[in-house]
């Protein structure tokens, strides 16, 4: 009966009898869903067909980003105005209490101003993006994305579950790295860990959204048009990161982590209507508040440090200006400047604070410019020689550069290897330097900007 | 995907030969070790009726309906499962293939 190459072993018979028993119990107690009520096959046909599968994926990503960009704009302005009004009041109170200038500087210009920036720029996009993402998660859409993209992972020599760990990385790369535990093969888990950083995390999204909004709005005028164009730019950056993930995974499975993809299975669960109320609460409390608190906890000391570095003057220049001077040539090679690189280095604890640090160091000491809107950010950056090409280089560097300290620490905890932790920092950094230098060279060659 | 004539005659072949919409009966597993264990855990037990549901837009993997769950397997992995194509499946159930 059975062909010789497929012997049915004793273990098989044991499992088969267990299943028979389970089946007979299930038949007694479970009422099957009538096929007419179950929309899953219909939806699945739409989400995974050759014709509509990929367009729907792109549209979904674009729509979520567009809603985030447009929806975050107004609350961001209101929050910014409120928090900076409070700064004036705080300033006045401290002066009235006779606080020394340095204390006022560290606490108000350093700590408070950075915090206000982080909260007003980050909170609104997070409060919109996370619930949208959690809704998709709850609906059961993510396994379909993994199903659609699997052949690309196979090509790269990686595990198909990597698309799930990447999705997690959209929220937080450290969480994405922990999620790599679902991948059984050590080789494929390492690939997923080392490339997770190429997925833009939530700490970098607001910066991307802010910069693309500022620089796209210089070209496109109407609100809806500019919002859509900015979302398109962000989608482009996200896709660049995904392409990079495949490329680097492919390279790794042919060099450092040689091997072929191993066995794995992917379940496509039935669609469920998400419990909207619970999703909102869960994403706001579990994700938004958690990420924001972490950002705030990191931003406060960083703000103080940056203020001190920016106001400690050695031989006529601040420490930040000295550092920026040294890093200037490397920065300009990549279409950036020294201050940007200093901000990325000082922002190692968390990506959320890189742009605030840059704003602080551009503003320098003493100058009390109110940074309460995206327009004023645009004016400040333009005053420091930024063009759309600088913004593009910045976004690419932000996408590709080394992971934040939390993620690196997580990589070390997961791999227990300083070698792989070093690789997790060195590989993205090398990619960032190469890509940004290439793009900046291209911009120079074509004579733009 | 093209079916070989030989498999057609015997009606037995690796799972990956089932086109979307076709059903089959599991007759055996050719994998050993952990892979065999995992397939048994998921319900790919000899004697089980399963159905190829849909293929990924990029051609691989394929989703199979087995014991009420839908599980996607890459072609290379699905070949660890040997099935006999259910004769009736070429008629009624094959009427709704994907795309």
- Do A19 and B42 make contact, defined as CB atoms within 8 angstroms? no
Per-residue pLDDT of A271-322, as tens digits, reads 888 888 888 888 777 777 877 787 788 778 888 888 888 888 888 888 999 9
For A215, phi and psi rounded to 5 degrees?
Answer: -85, -25
- Which residues in chain B are closer than 8 Å to A45, comparing Cβ atoms? 54, 98
Residues of B in contact with A264 (CB under 8 A): 74, 77
Give the pLDDT confidence of A19-59 residue by residue, as tens digits: 889 888 988 888 776 665 678 888 888 899 888 999 999 89
Task: Give the whole-angstrom CA distance, residue B74 versus residue A157.
Answer: 13
Helix, strand or coil, per DSSP, at residue B61: coil
Distances (CA, A) of A396 to A336, A393, B98: 11, 5, 39
Determine, for residues B72 and A150 on separate chains, whether the beta-carbon distance falls below 8 Å.
yes
User: What is the pLDDT, as a whole number, of residue A34?
Assistant: 65
Reported confidence tier of residue A433, pLDDT bands at 50, 70, 90:
very high
Domains of chain B: 17-86 (2.30.30.90)
Q: Which residues pair with A265 in a beta bridge?
A: B73
Q: How far apart, in whole angstroms, are the C-alpha atoms of residue A216 and residue A323?
A: 31
pLDDT digits (tens, 9 = 90+) for A152-206: 999 999 998 898 899 888 877 888 898 899 888 899 999 999 999 999 987 888 8
Q: Do B74 and A264 touch (CB under 8 A)?
A: yes
Cβ-nearest to A263 among B43, B77, B98: B77
Higher pLDDT, A201 or A402: A402
Q: What ipTM was estimated for this complex?
A: 0.81
At A449 the pLDDT is 53
Task: Mark yes or no for CB contact B58/A152 under 8 Å.
Answer: yes
A3 to B56: CB separation less than 8 angstroms, yes or no: no
Contact A339, A153 (CB under 8 A): no
Length of chain A: 449
A295 contacts: CB under 8 Å, gap ≥ 6: A118, A122, A203, A350, A352, A353
Give residues with Cβ within 8 angstroms of A74, minimum separation 6. Answer: none
Question: Which residues have CB under 8 Å from A6's CB, separation 6+?
Answer: B27, B28, B29, B30, B82
Residue to test with chain A: of B14, B27, B39, B54, most A Cβ within 10 A: B54
Packing angle of the helix pair A223-252, A418-445 (nearest 10 deg): 130
- Chain B residues whose CB is inside 8 A of the A144 CB are none
């Amino acid at each position: 009966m059975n062909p010789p190459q497929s012997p049915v072993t004793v273990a098989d018979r044991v499992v088969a009898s267990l299943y028979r028993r389970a089946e007979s119990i299930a038949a007694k107690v479970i009422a099957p869903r009538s096929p007419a009520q179950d929309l899953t096959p219909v939806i699945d046909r739409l989400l995974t067909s050759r014709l509509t599968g990929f367009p729907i994926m792109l549209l979904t990503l674009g729509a979520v980003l567009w809603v985030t960009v447009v929806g975050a704009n107004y609350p961001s302005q209101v929050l910014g105005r409120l928090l900076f009004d409070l700064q004036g009041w705080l300033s006045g109170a401290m002066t009235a209490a006779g606080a020394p200038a340095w204390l006022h500087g560290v606490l108000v210009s350093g700590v408070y101003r950075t915090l206000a920036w982080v909260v007003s720029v980050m909170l609104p996009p997070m409060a919109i993006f996370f619930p949208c993402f959690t809704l998709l998660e709850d609906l059961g859409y993510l396994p379909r994305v993994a199903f659609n993209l699997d052949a690309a992972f196979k090509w790269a020599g990686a595990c198909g579950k990597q698309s799930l760990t990447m999705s997690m990385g959209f929220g937080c790369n450290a969480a994405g790295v922990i999620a790599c535990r679902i991948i059984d093969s050590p080789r494929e888990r390492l690939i997923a860990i080392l490339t997770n950083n190429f997925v833009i995390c939530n700490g970098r999204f607001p910066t991307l959204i802010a910069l693309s909004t500022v620089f796209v709005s210089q070209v496109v005028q109407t609100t809806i048009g500019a919002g859509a164009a900015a979302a398109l730019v962000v989608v482009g950056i996200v896709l660049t990161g995904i392409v990079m993930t495949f490329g680097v995974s492919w390279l790794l499975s042919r060099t450092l982590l040689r091997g072929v993809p191993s066995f794995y299975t992917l379940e496509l669960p039935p669609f469920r209507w998400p419990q909207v109320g619970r999703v909102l609460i869960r994403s706001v409390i579990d994700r938004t508040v958690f990420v924001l608190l972490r950002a705030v906890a990191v931003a406060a000391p960083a703000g103080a440090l940056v203020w001190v570095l920016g106001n400690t003057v050695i031989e006529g220049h601040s420490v930040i200006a000295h550092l920026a001077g040294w890093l200037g040539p490397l920065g300009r090679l990549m279409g950036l400047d020294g201050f940007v690189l200093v901000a990325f280095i000082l922002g190692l604890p968390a990506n959320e604070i890189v742009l605030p640090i840059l704003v602080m160091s551009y503003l320098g000491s003493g100058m009390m410019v109110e940074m309460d809107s995206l327009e004023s950010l645009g004016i400040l950056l333009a005053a420091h020689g930024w063009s759309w090409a600088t913004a593009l280089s910045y976004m690419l560097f932000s996408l590709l550069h080394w992971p934040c300290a939390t993620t690196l620490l997580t990589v070390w905890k997961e791999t227990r290897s300083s070698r792989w932790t070093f690789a997790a920092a060195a590989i993205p950094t090398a990619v960032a330097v190469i890509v940004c230098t290439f793009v900046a060279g291209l911009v120079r060659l074509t004579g733009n900007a | 995907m093209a079916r070989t004539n030989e498999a057609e005659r015997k009606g037995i072949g690796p799972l990956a030969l089932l086109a979307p919409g076709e059903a089959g009966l599991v007759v055996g597993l050719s994998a050993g070790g952990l892979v065999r264990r995992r397939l048994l855990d998921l319900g790919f037990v000899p004697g089980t009726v399963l159905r190829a549901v849909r293929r990924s837009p990029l051609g691989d993997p394929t989703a199979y309906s087995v014991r009420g769950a839908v599980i996607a397997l890459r072609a290379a992995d699905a070949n660890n499962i040997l099935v006999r194509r259910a004769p009736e499946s070429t008629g009624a159930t094959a009427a709704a293939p994907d795309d």
